[in-house]
């Protein structure tokens, strides 16, 4: 297995290289085969590695390639680590990624540059696999930056449209803010632990106990800086603003970003370094609170959006908040478990949204849909399963993973933090669960129930997708139905599986009736949200919706306008930076650099040339005269300070012969 582990990320990367270099000259079918074939082969190798884990006493497979760098006493090697956590992530990335690749063959069938699209898609998958398989934080950061670059390429895939190009740049720049803090966290680890290898970091973690920042241990500074990086990559407050705009890319790209790759990177990082976060309970509290706040904040925005992909985008932001709260609770595994179940139903939701757009001539406005249940029965039922799963309804996967997070947060105890904070986080997540069920079934009813609100021609053309598209939808629906059995309380195979590799908090003695009560509260919140959505939107928007909005129109406008956060960022950051850039351009770049440093010497030379040019007129006599004058000047300057020769006292005078005495 040592010789095969590297093929997991290498195969998709080779597929990307092949399609990007020569794919445009190949038939479309061969481009497709290379794209999904390499990801499928990577899944098979990951499965083989999973089966091999039981033969390794440390439950991990290491593969080291070469010494990467050795400087300042720090030795970093390039290699992969395949343990229980990376095995889970590899299954999600390659398994869900493979289904998205297959779906994309039909969805992008009219695209004129399939080699470029599938090359980027393969490269995205390969970068994420490097991120989750890297055996040290620096190699993880390479994958971290790789998915950032690929997201820029894929979000702005249709770069001829200004909105798409702008969205790609926004995602790239926003992530750079978080990545700056991420690098600071890495630098602190290098300074104190002298290593970035995950195994060695565990052994040297005690070095992070020294006071570093405002009387807090260095572990807090590291955890806080790395979490800021996670906020950028995983779209948490305040760096979440790029993710809704990322919907400008093709829908399969949205599914890959939201379900299997980029946005889950931050959750994975916190889980991987959970032993550092365990040393900084206050950092865990920050992670949980920011996650809960993001979950609730994004859920409220999702309740008023009318673009099908924007609803799902804010849903992803909200669910990522759930995951962060989970990994910061008493059971880190609960957050990773929700990451896995969420990958199934969120990938299905985005792919289903793409099928809806296909059926509705690429329209995304849900207020202009309705009645698709009769025209697209397969799509309707798979979408219904995803909505039930994300709403956390028993017995689908989302119920078990959300219940695990609610219990993990409710029983959390962060030393040095107010004891009421876990209960506040629990309440915020419980309210978020109800809102999630509401906006997802609002979406379902507006798209599929009642009579159509679109034009007759568009509605008549609507139909179920082809088997290439509904096949992945059906598989994801099946996984959303049954995946929850891995985390059933009392038989929590998933939590037991991850216990050896991630932080496990104290296990409080919980009365059985309290566990049932917490699960019941989560289920009640989900059912309540569905009930409200059913009353207001089943069969189409009811008059009660308008009456409800009329009660507080300002609140509705704020929620629909996403609380004007983008406008505030533009006012506070974008416009001042543009103004500063204009000042620096016109005042410094043009005046100092261009006219001064660049054009200045040239102008000086030109001035001297203007002075000397009349002297070079081709008259030889003048040249000779100038030469003589110049020679005289040089001799005069050379002899100006010369002293007369000194005659020795005992020198004998030389008598010259008289004129008549000269022999000749």
The per-residue pLDDT for range 10-37, each reduced to its tens digit, is 999 999 999 999 999 999 999 999 999 9
> Residue 139, Cα to own-chain centre: how many angstroms?
16
Which of 283-297, 350-364, 495-509 bottoms out in mean pLDDT, i.e. has the lowest? 495-509
Q: Which residue has the higher pLDDT, 234 or 509?
A: 234
Give the pair of three-digit tokens for residue 425. Answer: 């986080």
Predicted structure pTM score: 0.89
**Residue that terminates a domain, selected from 560, 589, 614:** 560
**Structure confidence at residue 660 as a pLDDT band (50, 70, 90):** low
Could you tell me the end-to-end alpha-carbon distance of the chain, in angstroms, rounded to an integer?
111
Question: How do strand 211-213 and strand 61-71 relate by DSSP bridges?
Answer: unpaired
Q: Are residues 498 and 597 in the same domain?
A: no
Q: Are residues 455 and 515 in the same domain?
A: yes
pLDDT > 70 in the chain, percent: 94
Is residue 392 domain-resident?
Answer: yes
> Count of domains in the chain?
3
Q: What is the dihedral of CA 657, 660, 663, 664, to 10 degrees?
A: 120
Rounded Cα gap, residues 475 and 457, in angstroms? 31
- DSSP single-letter state for residue 654: P
Q: Domain range for residue 425?
A: 280-560
CB-based contact 118:35 (threshold 8 Å): yes
Rounded Cα gap, residues 346 and 387, in angstroms? 9
CB-based contact 375:456 (threshold 8 Å): no
Q: Are residues 554 and 598 in the same domain?
A: no
Please state at what angle helix 137-155 crosses helix 218-233, rounded to 10 degrees: 20
Q: Are residues 341 and 393 in the same domain?
A: yes
Is residue 385 domain-resident?
Answer: yes
Is residue 223 domain-resident?
Answer: no
pLDDT number for residue 506: 56
The per-residue pLDDT for range 196-234, each reduced to its tens digit, is 999 899 988 888 988 877 788 999 999 999 999 999 999
What residues contact residue 198 under an 8 Å CB cut-off, 6+ apart?
81, 135, 136, 137, 272, 273
Q: Are residues 10 and 105 in the same domain?
A: yes
Q: Are residues 476 and 417 in the same domain?
A: yes
**Residue that terminates a domain, selected from 507, 535, 560:** 560
* Mean of the per-residue pLDDT values of the chain: 89
Q: Are residues 446 and 587 in the same domain?
A: no
Nearest to 83 by CA among 156, 5, 9: 5
Q: Are residues 248 and 326 in the same domain?
A: no
Is residue 623 domain-resident?
Answer: no
Is residue 629 domain-resident?
Answer: no
Is residue 610 domain-resident?
Answer: no
Which of 242-256, 435-449, 583-597 bottoms out in mean pLDDT, i.e. has the lowest? 583-597
Where helices occur in 538-654 by DSSP H, the ranges are 543-551, 553-560, 565-569, 575-583, 599-612, 620-639
Rounded Cα gap, residues 398 and 532, in angstroms? 20
- Mean pLDDT over 430-436 rounds to 96
pLDDT number for residue 276: 94
Nearest to 271 by CA among 207, 210, 227, 239: 227
Q: What is the CA radius of gyration of the chain?
A: 35
**Matching residue, tokens 């969420």:** 342
- DSSP single-letter state for residue 213: E
Q: Are residues 249 and 335 in the same domain?
A: no
Q: Which residue has the higher pLDDT, 612 or 404?
A: 404
**Matching residue, tokens 């920050």:** 286
pLDDT at 512 over 80: no
Q: What is the dihedral of CA 96, 102, 108, 112, to 10 degrees?
A: 120
Where helices occur in 360-463 by DSSP H, the ranges are 372-375, 377-390, 397-410, 421-448, 456-461
**Residue that terminates a domain, selected from 530, 560, 590:** 560
| CB neighbour class for 664 (10 Å; exposed up to 12, middle 13-18, buried from 19) | exposed
Write phi, then psi, for 546 (nearest 5 degrees): -65, -40
Q: Are residues 29 and 84 in the same domain?
A: yes
Q: Are residues 553 and 571 in the same domain?
A: no
Q: Are residues 520 and 570 in the same domain?
A: no
| CB neighbour class for 541 (10 Å; exposed up to 12, middle 13-18, buried from 19) | middle
pLDDT at 650 over 70: no
Is residue 203 domain-resident?
Answer: no
pLDDT number for residue 74: 84
Is residue 631 domain-resident?
Answer: no
């Amino acid at each position: 297995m040592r010789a095969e582990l590297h093929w997991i990320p290498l195969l998709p990367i080779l597929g990307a290289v092949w399609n990007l270099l020569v794919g445009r000259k190949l038939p479309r079918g061969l481009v497709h085969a290379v794209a999904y074939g390499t990801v499928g082969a990577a899944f098979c190798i990951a499965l083989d590695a999973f089966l091999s884990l039981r033969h390794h006493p440390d439950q991990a497979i290491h593969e080291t390639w070469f010494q990467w760098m050795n400087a300042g006493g720090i030795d970093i090697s390039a290699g992969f680590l395949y343990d229980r956590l990376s095995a889970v992530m590899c299954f999600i990335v390659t398994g869900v990624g493979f289904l998205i690749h297959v779906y994309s063959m039909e969805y992008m069938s009219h695209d004129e540059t399939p080699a470029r699209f599938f090359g980027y898609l393969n490269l995205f998958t390969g970068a994420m696999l490097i991120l989750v398989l890297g055996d040290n934080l620096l190699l993880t950061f390479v994958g971290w930056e790789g998915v950032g670059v690929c997201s820029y390429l894929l979000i702005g895939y249709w770069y001829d449209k200004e909105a798409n190009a702008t969205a790609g740049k926004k995602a790239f720049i926003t992530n750079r803010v978080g990545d700056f803090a991420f690098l600071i966290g890495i630098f602190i680890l290098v300074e104190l632990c002298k290593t970035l290898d995950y195994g060695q970091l565990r052994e040297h973690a005690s070095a992070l106990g020294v006071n570093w920042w405002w009387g807090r241990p260095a572990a807090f500074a590291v955890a806080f800086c790395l979490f800021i990086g996670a906020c950028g990559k995983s779209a948490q407050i305040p760096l979440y603003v790029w993710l809704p705009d990322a919907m400008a890319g093709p829908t399969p790209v949205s599914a890959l970003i939201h379900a299997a790759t980029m946005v889950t990177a931050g959750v994975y990082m916190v889980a991987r370094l959970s032993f550092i976060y365990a040393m900084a309970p206050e950092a865990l509290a920050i992670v949980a609170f920011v996650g809960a706040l993001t979950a609730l904040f994004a859920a409220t925005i999702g309740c008023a959006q009318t673009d099908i992909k924007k609803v799902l985008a804010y849903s992803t932001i909200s669910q990522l908040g759930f995951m962060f709260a989970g990994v910061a609770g008493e059971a880190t595994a609960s957050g990773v478990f929700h990451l896995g179940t969420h990958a199934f139903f969120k990938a299905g939701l985005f792919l289903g949204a793409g099928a809806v757009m296909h059926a509705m001539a690429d329209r995304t406005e849900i207020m202009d849909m309705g009645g698709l249940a009769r025209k697209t029965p397969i799509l309707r039922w798979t979408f219904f399963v995803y909505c039930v799963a994300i709403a956390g309804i028993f017995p689908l996967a989302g119920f078990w993973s959300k219940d695990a997070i609610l219990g993990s947060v409710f029983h959390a105890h962060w030393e040095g933090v107010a004891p009421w904070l876990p209960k506040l986080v629990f309440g915020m997540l419980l309210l978020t669960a109800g809102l999630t069920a509401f906006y997802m079934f609002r979406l379902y009813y507006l798209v599929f129930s009642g009579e159509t609100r679109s034009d007759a021609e568009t509605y008549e053309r609507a139909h179920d997708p082809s088997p290439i598209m509904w096949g992945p939808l059906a598989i994801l629906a099946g996984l959303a139905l049954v995946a929850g059995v891995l985390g059933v309380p009392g038989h929590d195979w998933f939590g037991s599986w991850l216990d050896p590799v991630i932080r496990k908090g104290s296990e409080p003695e919980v009365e059985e009736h309290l566990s049932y009560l917490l699960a019941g509260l989560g289920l009640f919140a989900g059912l309540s949200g569905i009930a409200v959505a059913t009353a207001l939107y089943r069969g189409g928007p009811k008059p009660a919706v308008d009456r409800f909005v009329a009660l507080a129109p300002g609140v509705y406008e704020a929620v629909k306008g996403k609380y004007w956060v983008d406008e505030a960022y533009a006012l506070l950051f974008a416009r001042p930076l543009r103004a500063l850039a204009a000042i620096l351009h016109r005042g410094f770049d043009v005046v100092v650099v261009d006219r001064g440093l660049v054009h200045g010497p040239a102008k000086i030379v030109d001035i001297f040339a203007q002075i000397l040019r009349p002297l070079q007129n081709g008259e030889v006599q003048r040249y000779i005269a100038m030469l003589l004058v110049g020679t005289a000047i040089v001799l005069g300057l050379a002899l100006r300070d010369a002293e007369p020769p000194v005659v020795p006292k005992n020198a004998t005078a030389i008598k010259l012969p008289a004129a008549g005495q000269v022999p000749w």
